[in-house]
Amino acid sequence: MDTNAVLDLMWVVIAGILVFFMQAGFTLVETGFTRSKNTGNIIMKNIMDFCIGSVVFWAIGYSLMYGDSISSFIGTPSWFFSKPNEMHNLFFQTVFAATAATIVSGAIAERTKFSTYLIFSLLMTLIIYPISGHWVWQSGGWLAKMGFTDFAGSSVVHSVGGWAALVAAIMVGPRIGKYTKGKSNAIPGHNLLIGSLGVFILWFGWFGFNGGSELAISGEHANNVADIIITTNLAGAAGALSAMFVTWIAYGRPDISMTLNGILAGLVAVTAGCAAVSPAGALAIGIIAGVVVVFSIDFIDKKLKIDDPVGAISVHGVSGALGTLLVGLFATDGGLFYGGGFHKLGIQAIGVFAIAAWAITISFIVLFILKKTMGLRVSKEEEVDGLDIHEHKANCFNE
């Protein structure tokens, strides 16, 4: 191998390791934003998302996503991927698949059966994520052929996870005590310090998530990666600022959890266009996402009465779709604000709605079957006492 090829391979591996560490971030965010009596259950779910995803994606998921295209819909399946010169790509895509699966965990935290969740996580990595991913990231996919842009996965990863989370949260139902007499009651998380540490870890990992999606770092790719790092960082920072000021105005205080979700919303939103927009465009995307996520979380909670303890539906589903659409406005090549007209925006809209329809439909079918066979929800006693004691016979906070 020449030096450039080694550099490119090493960058993909290092970026994949950064994305792997995001699993720790998701674990801490979900743990901090929920009650301490369910901490062990959340740890187990996030560990199993990665472990199940690693095995299933290697066994067949990767080929369904990146195999030769069948009718531009799905990759040609093959078992147990083993091409020696592509193992770095397998690893990088595996950590992405695990991210999509783990998004669902937060939205249905504190009341879902562990055994049922494991099966859904497996099917997320096996069917739901790879097939829609094939449409976009395999050159023969039908959205790829249309010119749809989702550079690092605002829709492919985050929206798929977010829309699956929406269906799951509706079907599992709200936590006991969340809604009484039509009013939404706050159920505070037990540790915002843990939650904020998780957000910082996610932000750290996002530099690998987006920067690694260049899939190379030699030659001119180095400048591209640097540009992506800047657009990613600016969007996260702008999301935090706009969410903070919106809550300061709307609630009379700069809300901590909303500001943290503003960071994530900005990062999710810019992921689609991090290589296609200017730094100023990334700043604008972050500002918009930070504003929208605050109102989206409130709307889903208080108007739709859907219980999402961590805001995963808004942060990943809504912000992912929004960011993918905004590529049609802010892309320096073909965006509406750069003289490209509405063509690019139209293609982005088709992709956003197609991916949403796929994730929602298949998630509903899977969860409906699981609900009728295994059941989705723990008993009232188990929920009140906490899942740690009943599901795992453990307590994470022993004195």
pLDDT along the chain (399 residues), means of 10: 92 97 96 93 95 96 93 93 91 93 92 95 95 94 94 95 96 93 90 96 97 94 97 98 97 95 97 96 97 96 94 96 96 92 94 97 96 93 91 83
Strands 74-75, 179-180: pairing is unpaired
Distance, CA of 390 to CA of 354 (rounded, Å): 40
E strand or H helix at 70: strand 69-70
Do residues 159 and 356 touch, judged by C-beta distance below 8 A?
Answer: yes
Q: CB of 17 within 8 A of CB of 191?
A: no
Q: What angle do CA 10, 266, 344 make, to 5 degrees?
A: 85
Which amino acid type is present at position 166? Answer: L
Q: Residue 399: what pLDDT?
A: 60
**Cβ atoms within 10 Å, residue 108:** 30
Q: Which residue has the tokens 């700043």?
A: 283
Q: Which CATH class is domain 3-391?
A: mainly alpha
- pLDDT for the residue numbered 398: 76
Please give the helix or strand (H or E) that residue 372 lies within, else none: helix 343-373
pLDDT of residue 84: 85
Structure confidence at residue 204 (pLDDT): 97
What does the domain layout of the chain look like in residue ranges?
3-391
Tokens of 101: 């699966």
* Token representation of residue 187: 């159920």
Q: Using CA atoms, how far apart are residues 4 and 1, in angstroms rounded to an integer?
A: 8
